[in-house]
Structure 1
Amino acid sequence: MAASRNRTPPERRLEEAVAAVLAAARVAPGQAVCVALSGGVDSTVLLHILAGLRASGGYSLAAAHVHHGLSRNADAWLEACRASCDALGVTFHAFRERVDRDDPAGIEAAARAVRHAALARVPCDWLAFGHHQDDQAETLMFRLLRGAGVRGAAAMAAVEPGRLRPLLGVRRADIVTYARVRGLAWVEDESNADLRYARNLLRHRVMPLLAEHFPGAVPALARASGQFREAEGLLEDLAGIDERACGGKRLDRAALLRLSDERVRNLLRWQLRALGLQAPARTRLVEVVRQLREIVEDAHRLPLGAAACCVYRGSVWLEAESGGPEPSPVAWRGERELSWGAGKVVFADAVGAGLSRAALERAREVVLSPRWSGLALREGEGRPRRSFKNLCQEAGIPAWLRERLPVLRVDGEAAWIGEIGVAAEFRCAPGEPGLVPVWER
Structure 2
Amino acid sequence: MLAAAAVAPRQRLCVAFSGGADSTTLLHLLARLRPRFGFDLCAAHVHHGLSPNADAWLEFCARQCAALGVAFHPFREQVARDHPAGLEAAAREVRHGALARVACDWLVFGHHQDDQAETLLFRLLRGTGLRGAAAMAAVEPGSPGRLRPLLGVRRADIRTFAQAASLEWIEDESNADPRHARNLLRHRVFPLIGAAFPGAVPALARASGHFREADGLLGDLAALDCAACGGWPLQRDRLLALSDERVRNVLRWRIREMGGEAPARARLVEAVRQLRTAEEAPLYLPLGAVACCAYRGRLWLEPPRDGAPEQPLAWRQEPVQRWGAGVVRFEPVTGAGLGRAALQRAVDVALVPRWPGLTLRQDRGRPRRSFKNLCQEAGIPAWLRPRLPVLRVDGEAAWIGEIGVAAEFRCGPGEAGVLPVWQR
Please give the TM-score of this superposition, normalised by the length of structure 2.
0.95
Deviation at 1:339, TM superposition (A): 2.8
Q: Which residue of 2 aligns with 1:414?
A: 397
2:307 and 2:191 map into 1 onto residues whose CA distance is: 48
Choose from 355, 360, 364 the match for 1:372. Answer: 355
Give the whole-Å Cα distance in 1 for the aligned partners of 2:164 and 2:332.
65
2:43 to 48, 59, 63: 63
**Contact 1:130–1:165 (Cα < 8 Å) also in 2:** yes
Secondary structure, in 3 states, of the residue corresponding to 1:93?
strand
CA distance in 2, matches of 1:263, 1:316: 15
* Corresponding letter in the other structure for 1:167: L
SS of aligned partner of 1:218: helix
Equivalent in the alignment of 1:340:
323
The whole-number CA distance in structure 1 between the counterparts of 2:163 and 2:335 is 72
SS of the residue aligned with 1:368?
strand
SS in 1 for 2:118: helix
Q: Determine the structure 2 residue equivalent to 1:356.
A: 339
CA distance in 2, matches of 1:98, 1:187: 21
Q: For residue 4 of structure 2, what is the aligned residue in structure 1?
A: 24
| 1:186-227 Cα deviation digits (max 9, x unpaired) | 111111111111111111111111111111111001110001
TM-score normalised by length of structure 1 = 0.92
Equivalent of residue 161 in structure 2, options 157, 178, 184:
178
Of 95, 107, 110, the match for 2:75? 95
Query: Which among 225, 236, 242 is matched to residue 208 of structure 2?
Result: 225
Check conservation: 1:36, 1:64, Cα contact below 8 A: yes
SS state at 1:399 partner: coil
Report the Cα offset of residue 430 of structure 1: 4.3
Listed as ranges, the gaps of 5+ residues in structure 2 are none
SS at match of 1:344: strand
Tell whether 2:83 aligns with 1:81. Answer: no
Q: Displacement of 1:334 after TM fit? A: 2.7
2:387 match: secondary structure: coil
Measured after TM superposition, the shift of residue 424 of structure 1 is 2.3
* Residue from 186, 204, 207 that aligns with 2:190: 207
The 3 A distance-change label for structure 1 pair 324 and 424 is closer
Contact 2:110-2:148 at 8 Å conserved across structures: yes
Change (3 A) 1:239 1:104: same
The code of the aligned residue for 1:119 comes to L
Moved over 6 A (4+): none
Q: Which residue of 2 aligns with 1:249?
A: 232
Give 1:432 deviation, angstroms: 3.8
Q: Which moved more, 1:301-310 or 1:137-146?
A: 301-310
Q: CA separation in 2, counterparts of 1:234 and 1:108?
A: 32
Give the equivalent residue in structure 1 for 2:244: 261
8 Å CA contact 2:8, 2:38 repeated in 1: yes
CA displacement at 1:327 relative to structure 2: 4.7
In the alignment, is residue 166 of structure 1 matched against residue 146 of structure 2?
no
Which of the numbers 292, 310, 322 marks the counterpart of 2:275?
292
Matching residue's letter, 2:133: A
Q: Which deviates the most, 404-413 or 263-272? A: 404-413
Of all paired residues, the percent bearing the same amino acid is 71
Corresponding residue for residue 107 of structure 1: 87
CA RMSD of aligned residues (A): 1.6
Match of 1:145 in 2: 125
- Is contact 1:345–1:437 with CA below 8 Å preserved after alignment? yes
Instruction: Determine helix, strand or coil for the equivalent of 2:128.
Output: coil
User: What secondary structure sits across from 1:23 in the alignment?
Assistant: coil
Compared with structure 1, are the counterparts of its residues 295 and 53 closer, same or farther at alpha carbon in structure 2 (3 Å cutoff)? same
Amino acid in the other structure paired with 1:49: L
The aligned length equals 421
Q: CA–CA distance in 2 between the matches of 1:325 and 1:194?
A: 50
Partner SS for 1:35 = strand
Secondary structure of 2:211's aligned partner: helix
**Aligned to 1:25, what secondary structure does the other structure show?**
coil
Q: Deviation at 1:324?
A: 6.3
**Bigger shift: residues 170-179 or 318-327:** 318-327
Mark the runs of 5 or more structure 1 residues left unpaired by the alignment: 1-20
For residues 234-278 of structure 1, give each alpha carbon's deviation from its aligned partner in whole angstroms, at most 9, with x where no partner exists: 000000000011111111111011111110000000111122222
Indicate if the aligned counterparts of 1:322 and 1:341 stay in contact, CA closer than 8 A.
Answer: no
